[in-house]
């Protein structure tokens, strides 16, 4: 029962986060859309420093840290993909508006 509730809460938080990212990315200024990816990146960095691997060689530890870092930044990559997809559509609309204004003159 508890597992089911926690899964639904996690799903709800993810959906709200993606909707919030879509809205922030659609604003005129580009900076609000970068807030959530920046926060998830910082959270991943903090979590990386909380992990310790004992009894491994330096190369093994570097590989573990790199793999762990990439795994923890999947949410950052998803948010950045939403950001760039939303901004690409916005820049196309701006270019069309500029062309329409130019055609009127």
Q: What is the pLDDT of residue 103?
A: 67
Domain range for 84: 2-104
Q: What is the pLDDT of residue 32?
A: 92
- pLDDT tier at 105 (50, 70, 90 boundaries)? low
Q: What is the pLDDT of residue 56?
A: 81
| Each residue's pLDDT tens digit, 42-75 | 999 998 888 777 788 888 888 888 998 999 999 9
Length of the chain: 105
- pLDDT tier at 30 (50, 70, 90 boundaries)? confident
- What is the domain count for the chain? 1
Structure letter (DSSP) for residue 33 = G
Task: Kindly state the tokens that stand for 52.
Answer: 């310790």
Q: Which of 53, 87, 85, 81 lies closest to 69, judged by CA?
A: 53
């Amino acid at each position: 029962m508890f597992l089911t509730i926690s899964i639904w809460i996690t799903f709800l938080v993810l959906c709200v986060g993606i909707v919030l990212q879509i809205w922030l990315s659609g604003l005129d200024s580009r900076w609000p859309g970068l807030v959530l990816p920046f926060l998830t990146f910082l959270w991943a960095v903090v979590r990386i420093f909380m992990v310790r691997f004992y009894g491994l060689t330096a190369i093994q530890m570097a590989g573990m840290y790199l793999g762990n870092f990439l795994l923890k930044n999947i949410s950052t990559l998803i948010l950045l993909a939403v950001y760039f997809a939303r901004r690409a559509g916005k820049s196309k609309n701006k270019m069309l508006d500029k062309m329409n204004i130019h055609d009127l003159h």
